[in-house]
Structure 1
Amino acid sequence: MGLSASAHGLTIGTLPTGPLGSITDVPGIHVGHTTLSDGDIRSGVTAIVPTQLDERRHTLPAAVAVGNGHGKLVGSTQVDELGTLETAILLTSTLSVHRVADALLTHELTRPGREQVVTLNPLVGETNDAYLSDIRTRPVRERHVLDALASARPGPVDEGCVGAGTGTCALGFKGGIGTASRVAREGARGWTVGALVQSNFGGTLRIEGVRMPTAELLEGIAPSPAETSGVADAEDPAAAAQATEDQYRQGNSCMIVVATDAPVDARQLGRVARRAIVAMDRVGADFAHGSGDYAITFSTSTEAPAMPDPELNPVFAATMEAVEEALVSSLVHAVTTTGYRGHTAYALPLDRVLERLSASGRLPRA
C-alpha cells in the first residue's frame, strides 16, 4: 500500500483530510481487491463494502450521476428510481461485468436475513482494460469476486495497479485505483467524505492547474512513434510531439464512488454525484465519446431529517477535492506495466511532476 498523494508532495486543495486519506475514513466502509496479473491478463475486482448493510439495515440512500453513458453500469436504473443502495459496490473490467454481478448476487443471497429475498439489485461498474489485458477471455470468475469481498477491510487501501485498476490507463499514463478523503464542516459540525476511483480515461493531465503533457513528461522514458517506426521526426518536432501525446492517450471511462456520513438524502446525493463528475475536469479529462464516466454516491448516516440544502456547500467542496486527489493518487501509485500484445503503459514520473509544480510556484523550491 502506498502513501497518500499529499505524502508524495502533491497537495490538492485546501480542506483537511481524514486520518488515512482514503474512503475507509468514512466509518464502516471496507475495501478489498482481487488482482489478476499473469501473461496477457491485467485485470481484477475491487469491492467497496458498506458494513452498515446488514440484517437490520437493508438499504442506504444513494444516487448515480452519468457524465457520459458509454458504459455498462449494472444496477443503476433502480438506484435512480428508488434512491437506494442494496449491495456492496464492485468494480471490474468491461466484459467481465455481468459475471461479477452474478457472483455478487450469489454472495448477497447467502447473507443472514436474506433467506427469503426474491429481488435484489447488485451494483457493478467497469472500465475497459483491453489495451493491457486480453479482455475477450473474460478472466474474472466467481471465486475472484468472492475473494475481493472476503478481503474487504477497514484501514489503508491499496492503490495503483491493483484490483479493477490493474489494467487501466488514464491521461496518457498508467492509471488504476485511487482514493482520498476530506472533512466537510458546517459550523461546529463535521462529516467525512471519502472517494475511490477506477481511472481509465483520456485527456491531458493537470495538477493544481499545471499541465503535464505525456509527450514531455515521458521524454527519454517511453519511446516516441518516431523511435518505434524508424521515421525521423526532426523535420516536424511539433507534429512528432503531438503524435507521442496521442499514442499514450490510451484508456477510456472512469468509475467514481463517493461515501459520506453526512445526513443527506438520495436527491441531495444526486447533487453530490454531479460534483464528483466535475472533478474529472480539474485533472484534465477530455470527456471523449467513448468514455463512460459515472459517479455513485451513498450515505451511511442514520440521522433524520436530511440537512438543509444551503448547508451542502462544504460537502460539495469536500467531494470535488477528494475525487480530484483520488484521481491523481491513482496515477501516483501506478507502476509501468507491460501486458497484452506487449503494450506498455508508463508510470507518471513523480520527480518531473514535482519539478513542474515547483517551477510554476505550486510547490516551495528546494
Structure 2
Amino acid sequence: MTINITTKPRGRDLGLPFAGRTGTHNAITDVSGVGVGFRTIIEDVPRSGRKRPVRTGVTAILPHMHSETPIPVYAGTHRFNGNGEMTGTHWIEDGGYFLGPVVITNTHGVGMAHHATVKWMIDRYASTYQTDDFLWIMPVIAETYDGVLNDINGLHLTEADVRAALDSVATGPVEEGNCGGGTGMIAYGFKGGTGTSSRTIEFDDRPYTVGVLVQANHGQRDWLTIAGVPVGKHMQDGTPQSQMLERGSIIVVIATDLPMMPHQLKRLARRATIGIGRNGTPGGNNSGDIFLAFSTANAHPMLYGSGGHLAVEMVNDELLDPVYLATVDCVEEAVVNAMLAAEDMGGTAYDRFKISAIEHDRLAALLRELRPS
C-alpha cells in the first residue's frame, strides 16, 4: 500500500540549499520497512457544549510494517529540554529497544494514544499477544501541545482515531504540514506541524538511509533561521505578540537501516539537537525537545526464548561522522518542510488567534536579499 497525497512545495522545490542526497521520497519512509500513517481532525465549529474548534490528530510510525509479529528495534533517546513526554524511554534507556509503533499526538492525548496502541498491538500481533498472557506491551507515545488552535481540554481524541492512524500506515510519500499529530501545531510563530526528510549515504562501500520525521511546535519568531539567514527577525508582523514567545515543543524521530547498537543510536539521537539548532532554537524553557533514534537492522524475532546468545552486526564508531552529519541535515530540512507545507489555521469567530503559514514568496525574497552570494 502507498500513500496518495497532494504534493506541496518543499524546501528543495523552492531552491533552498539543503546539503546531501535524499532518498526517493525525501522522507522517513525511504528507510525500508518503515511506514507512516495519519488521522487528522479539523473541525472549525466547536462540538456541542464546547467553546473552541477541534484541530488535532495522530501520527503513527511503524518499523517493520509488513511483519505479522512484533520485532524489537534497537533504539536510543535524548532529552534536550524536558518539558514534554515520550513514553517507554526508561526501558529504551535500560533495555536498548522497543516493540511496535511510535505514535505522536497532542499533550492531553497521550493516555488515549497509549491505551489504543496497546489494544491495536494485541489485535495486530494476535499470534504473539493473544497466546501468552504474560507478555507486556510498552509502546512509544510522544506529544506536543496544540492548545492554541485546538480544544485540547475537550479530550476529543478517541481510540478509533488512534487506530485509524495505525491502520493507515504506508510507505511512499509522506504528508506534511497540518496533518496527524501536527495538525494544530505552531513553529516559530508560524503554522507548524509534520515534516520529514531523508539522506542516502555510503558506509563502508554499502548504501544506507537515514530518515527523519518531526512534529514541529517550537521556537519563537525572532529566532527563526533558514539556510543560515535570520529570516525571523525580518518577519515580525502578522503574529499575535503572545505567539512571539517559546510556547511549544518538538519531537524528532530518526530511522536508519544502518546496523547500530543502542549506545550508538543514543548518540545519533543527540545530533537532533544540532539539527533543530540550525533553524535557530536554543531549546526554550517551555519546550519539550525529545528525540528518538532507531535502527531496522538486526531484525531478530521476540527476544523471549531466543536462547543464550544473539549474533548482531554493528558499524564502526570511527566511521560515523557522515551519519551524524546526514542526521543533522535531515532534521534541519524536516522542520522547514513542516512549515512550508503548513496552511493558515484559526481566525474564526471561535478562535483566540489566527496563525498564518510562512509566505513562500516572501521567504524566497528575503533569502535572495540576505543570503551571501
What TM-score bracket applies, with the shorter chain setting the length?
Answer: 0.7 to 0.9
Rounded Cα–Cα distance in structure 2 between residues aligned with 1:269 and 1:181? 17
Percent of pairs with identical residues: 34
Rounded Cα–Cα distance in structure 1 between residues aligned with 2:288 and 2:236? 26
SS of 1:295's equivalent? strand
Rounded Cα–Cα distance in structure 2 between residues aligned with 1:43 and 1:52? 24
Tell me, yes or no, if structure 1 residue 307 matches structure 2 residue 315: yes
Q: For residue 177 of structure 1, what is the aligned residue in structure 2?
A: 194
Q: Give the deviation of 1:251 after TM superposition.
A: 3.6
CA deviation map 1:298-352 (0-9, x unaligned): 0011383201101111111111001110011110000110066332111011111
Higher mean C-alpha displacement, 109-118 vs 38-47: 109-118
Q: For residue 228 of structure 2, what is the aligned residue in structure 1?
A: 209
CA deviation map 1:205-260 (0-9, x unaligned): 1011101126x3264xx26x6xxxxxxxxxxxxxxxxxx5x643464110000000
Q: Give the deviation of 1:58 after TM superposition.
A: 2.6
Match of 2:356 among 336, 346, 354: 346
Rounded Cα–Cα distance in structure 2 between residues aligned with 1:247 and 1:186? 43
Describe how 1:1-366 pairs up with structure 2 within 5 A.
Answer: 1=6, 2-12=8-18, 14-38=19-43, 39=45, 40-51=53-64, 54-55=67-68, 58-110=71-123, 111-112=125-126, 113-115=128-130, 116-117=132-133, 118-203=135-220, 204-213=223-232, 216-217=234-235, 219=237, 222=238, 244=241, 247-249=243-245, 251-302=247-298, 304-338=312-346, 341-361=351-371
Higher mean C-alpha displacement, 57-66 vs 339-348: 339-348
Change (3 A) 1:150 1:362: farther
Q: For residue 302 of structure 2, what is the aligned residue in structure 1?
A: none
SS of 1:342's equivalent? coil
Rounded Cα–Cα distance in structure 2 between residues aligned with 1:103 and 1:187? 41
Rounded Cα–Cα distance in structure 1 between residues aligned with 2:16 and 2:236? 19
Rounded Cα–Cα distance in structure 1 between residues aligned with 2:262 and 2:315? 12
Q: Give the deviation of 1:146 after TM superposition.
A: 0.4
Q: Give the deviation of 1:3 after TM superposition.
A: 4.2
Q: Is the 8 A contact 1:170 1:249 kept in 2?
A: no
Rounded Cα–Cα distance in structure 2 between residues aligned with 1:56 and 1:45? 23
Q: Give the deviation of 1:52 after TM superposition.
A: 5.4
Change (3 A) 1:101 1:53: farther
CA deviation map 1:276-314 (0-9, x unaligned): 122111001131111011111100113832011011111
Q: Give the deviation of 1:185 after TM superposition.
A: 2.0
Q: Give the deviation of 1:134 after TM superposition.
A: 1.0
TM-score (norm 2): 0.86
Rounded Cα–Cα distance in structure 2 between residues aligned with 1:272 and 1:163? 25
Q: Is the 8 A contact 1:53 1:59 kept in 2?
A: no
Q: For residue 235 of structure 1, what is the aligned residue in structure 2?
A: none
Rounded Cα–Cα distance in structure 1 between residues aligned with 2:267 and 2:35? 24
Q: Give the deviation of 1:149 after TM superposition.
A: 0.6
Rounded Cα–Cα distance in structure 1 between residues aligned with 2:60 and 2:269? 19
Unmatched tracts of structure 1, length 5 or more: 226-243
Q: Give the deviation of 1:360 after TM superposition.
A: 2.9
**RMSD between superposed Cα atoms in Å:** 1.9
CA deviation map 1:83-112 (0-9, x unaligned): 102110000000111110000000011223
Structure 1 runs of 4+ off > 6 angstroms? none
CA deviation map 1:98-132 (0-9, x unaligned): 11000000001122322215311110000000111
Q: Is the 8 A contact 2:70 2:100 kept in 1?
A: no
SS of 2:319's equivalent? helix
Change (3 A) 1:319 1:144: same
Q: Which amino acid aligns with 1:29?
A: V
Rounded Cα–Cα distance in structure 2 between residues aligned with 1:41 and 1:30? 26
Rounded Cα–Cα distance in structure 1 between residues aligned with 2:204 and 2:59? 36
CA deviation map 1:130-185 (0-9, x unaligned): 11111101111000000001111100000000011110001111000000001122
Rounded Cα–Cα distance in structure 1 between residues aligned with 2:10 and 2:351? 32
Higher mean C-alpha displacement, 128-137 vs 44-53: 44-53
SS of 2:136's equivalent? coil
Q: Give the deviation of 1:5 after TM superposition.
A: 2.0
Aligned residues: 339
Change (3 A) 1:56 1:342: closer
TM-score (norm 1): 0.88
SS of 2:13's equivalent? helix
Rounded Cα–Cα distance in structure 2 between residues aligned with 1:336 and 1:17? 28
